[in-house]
Amino acid sequence: MNKKNSIWLLVAVWTLVSCGTVKSTREKPAVALAQSSLTSEQQRKYDYFFLEAMRLKEKKDYASAFGLLQHCLDIHPNAASALYEVSQYYMFLRQVPQGQEALEKAVANAPDNYWYSQGLASLYQQQNELDKAITLLEQMVVRFPAKQDPLFNLLDLYGRQEKYDKVISTLNRLEKHMGKNEQLSMEKFRIYLQMKDDKKETKTDAKPAPKQLYRVRTSWSDAKSQIGAYAMLENAKNACPVGYKVYASNGKIVYEPFKAYTVRKDAADALNIRKGPGTNYDVQGQITDTKRYTVVEESAGVGSAKGWGRLKAGGWVALDWVKKAQRR
């Protein structure tokens, strides 16, 4: 979503609020004294320090108030009310990391306090920690089902992240709260159009896959040795002489022509010539002399540990019973 659309979304949200469709309260967090397994004496001291800190805060004596809040945390380190007030003091001093840490502890210890969570969600947004803000706001939607502000905040954040499916889902949740609303329906319609346009742009912008070419070279690194590039593998094979190889576009060898060699019979008995590479093929002849025969192809097969060689003259012989003569 571009900036213009994001601004439009925010305007639509605030229009709904300003028209009175949503009642948004601007209350201050209620002051809550710590309630825990403190002894009565500890509780008395905590209440005294906390209330005195609030009195000094009203008089703008922030340093003294902060000192008393530290006494509160010495008594009860997980007191959410004291942690919240300490976080506000740090924020006032622009010490954001310390303030964020204290506020996160306050929320962790008082998850049912709406205003602590709302304050932390706003801080996350100010710090551009949008994923943290979204996670917290989604939790707030569950914990505070009567509140609509978290949904409006989510609407803005999902819009900024261009997560249109989440925007639609959030608008649907708002409709459950507010009932059918023309402005919400129009916003959903606009988002659906945006999603459709994005799909079209994706298809238009998609680059076609590079065409596969089979290159005939002596080696992949030696581009100068290339004697041809072919779209069809079979054509590349036919054009590939001995000493060259066929390479795919990724540099992988996909074909290398067989280099013929000559052999002589290396057995006392006659050597069977078979119709295929294996003893499971019929015999079509025999070699009884010691002349040279040219092998033009090799293949694995039954009955020979070294494999089978196809003779240029025709038929296959077991390579176990021949001896290489000289290479061509």
Q: What are the residues facing 261 on neighbouring strands?
A: 295, 327
How far is the C-alpha of 289 from the C-alpha of 286, rounded, in Å? 9
Q: So what's the pLDDT on residue 2?
A: 46
Q: What are the residues facing 253 on neighbouring strands?
A: 247
Q: Is the pLDDT of residue 227 over 60?
A: yes
316-318/308-311 β-pairing: antiparallel
How far is the C-alpha of 176 from the C-alpha of 81, rounded, in Å? 33
- Reported as half-sphere exposure (CB side, CA atoms, 13 A), residue 9 has a value of 27
Region of 162 (left: φ > 0; alpha: ψ -120 to 50; beta: rest) is left
Taking only the tens place, the pLDDT of each residue in 229-256 is 788 888 888 888 888 999 988 788 988 8
Q: So what's the pLDDT on residue 13?
A: 41
Higher-confidence residue of 55 and 170: namely 55
Structural domain 3-204, CATH architecture: Alpha Horseshoe (1.25)
The candidate with the shortest Cα–Cα distance to 291, out of 316, 271, 318, 319, is 271
Of the pLDDT bands very low, low, confident and very high (cuts 50, 70, 90), residue 197 is low
Taking only the tens place, the pLDDT of each residue in 107-144 is 999 999 999 999 999 999 999 899 999 999 999 999 99
Residue in this structure with the two tokens 């320090």, named with its chain if needed: 49
- pTM across the whole model: 0.51
Q: So what's the pLDDT on residue 20?
A: 36
Is-contact 264 237, C-beta < 8 A? no
Of the pLDDT bands very low, low, confident and very high (cuts 50, 70, 90), residue 44 is very high
Q: Is the pLDDT of residue 3 over 50?
A: no
Of the pLDDT bands very low, low, confident and very high (cuts 50, 70, 90), residue 328 is very low
Q: What percent of the chain has pLDDT over 90?
A: 41
Taking only the tens place, the pLDDT of each residue in 277-327 is 999 899 999 999 989 999 888 888 888 888 899 998 999 999 998 988 764
Is-contact 319 307, C-beta < 8 A? yes
Provide the token pair at 217: 């070279």
Taking only the tens place, the pLDDT of each residue in 252-289 is 898 888 888 899 998 888 999 999 999 989 999 999 99
Class of domain 261-327 as given by CATH:
mainly beta
The torsion of the CA quartet 218, 221, 227, 231, rounded to 10 degrees, works out to 110
Phi/psi at 76 (nearest 5 deg)? Answer: -140, 90
How far is the C-alpha of 83 from the C-alpha of 103, rounded, in Å? 6
* Average pLDDT across the chain, whole number: 82
Q: Is the pLDDT of residue 17 over 50?
A: no
Higher-confidence residue of 176 and 33: namely 176
Is-contact 231 207, C-beta < 8 A? no
Q: Is the pLDDT of residue 15 over 60?
A: no
Q: What are the residues facing 308 on neighbouring strands?
A: 299, 318
| Domain limits, the chain | 3-204, 214-255, 261-327
- Cβ neighbour number for residue 51 with a 10 Å cutoff: 13
DSSP 267-326: SSSPEEEESSSSTTSPEEEEE-S---EEEEEEE--TT-SS-EEEETTSSEEEGGGEEEEE
Residue in this structure with the two tokens 């001896």, named with its chain if needed: 323
